[in-house]
């Protein structure tokens, strides 16, 4: 059985995309541990925060090398298990980290595409047989991960640029964290329209979950934004993630997720709801 692939994305920054991606991946790994299943967290943000959030040193490894064909998945994926150094035991969680090198990878990919197309034309060949289209680059370069892992979680940057269609082509569904304020809620509508546009063009991506983040129920505006999200997205809206210091403290406390650092906290409860929604296939797709 092939892996299920989920993106965690939103064009608006500061909505807890990386926190959500990392916590979801760690939670799914825990759920799969007894069965021997495995989870891969792919970082597509050049800031490279996913590995740091888990207390990992990438050691020069980067997803950019895989995308450009300069390196293999095997050589760039790192284990997230930290039991040997006294950290959290994560025997079945793995990370394909990112770095600043990813900023240059897009230019390299465009150059490769242009050169290959020109060479194919010179040789008089059908370019469809010689060139990997940009929309298929993740299918081509990350596709083998589907055979090895049960879940692949992709932490996306605010701007996917030329990789947007490729990411949506590779993924089964998108998870969209939304900060419960006016600007983020409005931006969520624009972002989900982009996903639906790709869906309408024949790309298989669907919206799997809308995750309200930084929620403070004491604020009238927050309650209003939650009502608006529920009205717009219905059952796709998961349990809101409360605005609590525990979430911010977790990565600073030895590279832990909040479900590892404060397992009894309301934030952990909410994130476990998201994990189990994905794991059990509850809810609906849009």
DSSP state, 174? E
Give the three-class secondary structure for 102. helix
Q: Which pLDDT score is estimated for 122?
A: 59
pTM of the model: 0.91
The 8-class DSSP code of residue 242 comes to B
Q: What angle do CA 101, 89, 257 make, to 5 degrees?
A: 60
Query: Which residues lie closer than 8 Å to 119 by C-beta, 6 or more apart?
Result: 130
pLDDT digits (tens, 9 = 90+) for 165-214: 899 999 999 999 999 998 888 888 888 988 888 888 888 899 999 999 99
Write the CB contacts of 150 (distance below 8 Å, at least 6 apart in sequence). 1, 3, 4, 28, 32, 37, 38, 39
Taking a C-beta distance cutoff of 8 angstroms, is the pair 61, 48 a contact? Answer: no
* Distance of alpha carbon 187 from alpha carbon 184, whole angstroms: 5
pLDDT < 50 regions, the chain: 118, 127-130
> What gap in Å lies between CA 27 and CA 37, rounded to an integer?
12
Residues in contact with 77: Cβ distance below 8 Å, sequence separation at least 6, in sequence order: 40, 61, 94, 95, 96
Pick the CATH number of 4-102+134-280 from 1.10.390.10, 1.10.730.10, 3.10.180.10, 3.40.50.300: 3.40.50.300
Can you give the pLDDT at residue 190? 83
């Amino acid at each position: 059985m092939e892996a299920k692939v989920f993106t965690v994305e939103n064009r608006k920054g500061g909505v807890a995309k990386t926190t959500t991606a990392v916590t979801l991946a760690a939670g799914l790994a825990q759920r799969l541990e007894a069965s021997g299943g495995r989870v891969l967290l792919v970082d597509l943000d050049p800031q490279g925060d996913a590995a740091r959030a888990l207390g990992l040193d990438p050691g020069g490894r980067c997803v950019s090398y895989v995308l450009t064909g300069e390196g293999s998945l095997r050589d760039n994926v790192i284990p997230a298990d930290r039991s040997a150094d006294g950290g959290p035991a994560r025997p079945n969680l793995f990370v394909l980290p990112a770095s600043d090198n990813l900023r240059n990878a897009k230019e390299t990919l465009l150059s490769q595409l242009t050169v290959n197309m020109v060479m194919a034309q010179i040789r008089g060949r059908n370019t469809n047989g010689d060139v990997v289209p940009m929309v298929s680059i993740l299918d081509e370069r990350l596709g083998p991960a589907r055979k090895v892992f049960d879940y692949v979680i992709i932490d996306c940057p605010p701007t996917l640029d030329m990789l947007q269609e490729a990411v949506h082509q590779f993924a089964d569904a998108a998870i969209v964290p939304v900060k419960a304020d006016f600007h983020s809620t409005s931006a969520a509508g624009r972002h989900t329209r982009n996903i639906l546009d790709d869906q309408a063009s024949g790309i298989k991506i669907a919206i799997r979950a809308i995750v309200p983040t930084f929620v403070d129920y004491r604020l009238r505006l927050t309650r209003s934004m939650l009502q608006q999200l529920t009205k717009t997205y219905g059952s796709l809206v998961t349990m809101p993630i409360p605005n609590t210091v525990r979430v911010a403290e977790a990565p600073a406390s030895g590279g832990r997720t909040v479900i590892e650092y404060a397992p009894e906290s309301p934030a952990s409860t909410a994130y476990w709801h998201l994990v189990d929604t994905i794991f059990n296939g509850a809810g609906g797709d849009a």
